[in-house]
Amino acid sequence: MSITYEKVRELFDYRSDGKLIWRITKSKNVKKGRVAGTSYTDWYSQVRVDYVLHMTHRLIYLWHHGYMPEGDIDHINQNKSDNRIENLREVSHQCNLRNTGNHSDNKSGVKGVYKHKSWSKWLAYIVLNNKQRRLGKFKSFDEAVLHRLAAEQCLGWDHCHLASPAYRYALRNGLIKRRR
């Protein structure tokens, strides 16, 4: 059985720091005024309601929007413990997968852009359907980043632009203007 908007509003209050607060006392562990939820990893927390575990960020989304999204809820700033409503958005699973940090071996700071040592050129690529697609070789890092960003937009990833390291780099360095 899924949890309803009415049930979430009955059980919890929301604090602006992204915490759910119990409105009722149900047991020694569930007391009115306490923060709801326990961490089960370093980032995510979950809340048990009627013997069913729910992800805290999903309950917060339901509390604010009145429905539980079928798709994923993305933490825009990539901080999984930051459950402020302004940091949560409903996205497709693909968009949520794109909003991950760079791999530990990434040296350029932009996903899909790296320096080829023997050619002394910057290469840009994008992964689509688990296959790497080369976007070209470029003399400058900025040019490679812009090609990576253009590929993201051509693939319809532009609605996920806040998650794109290429977008953030280009914006920060004045290569593009902020979208409205």
> What are the DSSP calls for 121-178, one per residue?
EEEEEEEETTEEEEEEEESSHHHHHHHHHHHHHHTTGGGGGGG-HHHHHHHHTTSS--
Q: What's the pLDDT tens digit per position in 29-82?
A: 889 999 998 887 767 899 999 999 999 999 999 999 999 999 899 988 888 899
**83 and 20 belong to one structural domain:** yes
Instruction: Examine residue 31 and state whether it is found in any structural domain, yes or no.
Output: yes
Instruction: Examine residue 119 and state whether it is found in any structural domain, yes or no.
Output: yes
CA end-to-end distance (rounded Å), the chain: 40
**82 and 12 belong to one structural domain:** yes
How many folded domains does the chain comprise?
Answer: 2
- Contact call for residues 145 and 152 (beta carbons, < 8 A): no
Domain hosting 61: range is: 5-91
**27 and 85 belong to one structural domain:** yes
Instruction: Examine residue 180 and state whether it is found in any structural domain, yes or no.
Output: no
